[in-house]
Structure 1
Amino acid sequence: MNPVAPALASRPLALLVDDDAIIRMEAADLLDEAGFAVVEAWSAASALDLLERRPDIGLLLTDVCMPGAADGFGLAREVARRWPGIRIVVMSGPMTPAGHDLPDGALFIDKPFSARHVLDAVRGIEGLS
């Protein structure tokens, strides 16, 4: 039996998607501080694979610029379409959303992000205090 599993089961699960390992580590720490268990992916394709296997994911925090056919905006729209109950936060440094880049209800954070911006976004979107 895994002694960590019961503790993680009581925490909401976030999917963190970024191709930069350092940013993933920083963001994972912030999500943990905000009360989330975290699973990580490095591309939209790997994120979709995780989402298909993990129905318990409640939050997506994704970068925009990633390798592969889909960027973070495309991933956010696909997640909103296929899993409408998942809350979405998109982050980027070089790009900002325009038009219909973001699905309804999604939040955007500029990079480099501050801990306060990430914590405020995920706490607000999930109703955590």
Structure 2
Amino acid sequence: MALSTVPYALVVDDDPLIMMDTTSILEDAGFRFHEAMDGDDAKLVLAEHWENIILLFSDVDMPGKTNGFALARHVAEHWPAIEIVIASGHVLPRAGEMPEKATFISKPFNRRMIHEHLRKTLPDNKLPEPLKKAV
């Protein structure tokens, strides 16, 4: 199966309005996306679509057994090629809570903040064309 030239992100957030805003921002950055409302659902999406996902963008506080930090650790362990961005407006990560490769962004965020964060943190070979052009 050939990989799409448009990269996929998995967006995980239990707030539908934040989910819509985040997916719109990532779509403007050049991503297609999969969605999950919590960490447990995200694991199911990953099991099925991990081959085309290059970015996990997840909230921290969500219902279910798997919060954003646990999801980030799971992704880093099982799919180390997937880049990880964790976002929260309520919780800051403590030492060792996130995998070393994961990055954190505070909520509320906006389009410019996320695009700049992705430009700084994603390797060049994973940057979608719109982010490369907008420098």
**Under a length normalisation based on structure 2, what TM-score does the superposition of the two structures give?**
0.86
Q: Which residue of 1 aligns with 2:4?
A: 9
Of the three residues 108, 115, 120, the one matched with 2:111 is: 115
Q: CA deviation at 1:114?
A: 2.0
Give yes or no for the alignment of 1:100 onto 2:102.
Answer: no
Q: Report which stretch shifted further, 98-107 or 78-87.
A: 98-107
Q: Which residue of 2 aligns with 1:49?
A: 44
Q: CA deviation at 1:126?
A: 4.3
The two structures, once aligned, show a CA RMSD in angstroms of: 1.3
Using the aligned pairs only, state the percent identity: 42
Structure 2: stretches of 5+ with no match in the other structure: none
Q: Which residue of 2 aligns with 1:3?
A: none
Of the three residues 78, 81, 85, the one matched with 1:85 is: 81
How many residues align structurally? 122
- The letter of the residue matching 2:52 is D
- The letter of the residue matching 1:17 is V
Say whether the 8 Å CA contact 1:17–1:41 is kept in structure 2: yes
Give, in whole Å, the separation in 2 of the partners of 1:37 and 1:121: 18
Structure 1: stretches of 5+ with no match in the other structure: 1-7
The verdict on how the C-alpha distance between 1:18 and 1:126 changes in structure 2, with shifts beyond 3 A counting, is farther
Say whether the 8 Å CA contact 2:8–2:55 is kept in structure 1: yes
Give, in whole Å, the separation in 2 of the partners of 1:116 and 1:74: 27
Give, in whole Å, the separation in 2 of the partners of 1:43 and 1:122: 22
**Under a length normalisation based on structure 1, what TM-score does the superposition of the two structures give?**
0.90
- Show structure 1 runs of 4+ deviating over 4 A: none
Q: Which residue of 2 aligns with 1:21?
A: 16
SS of the equivalent of 1:15 reads strand
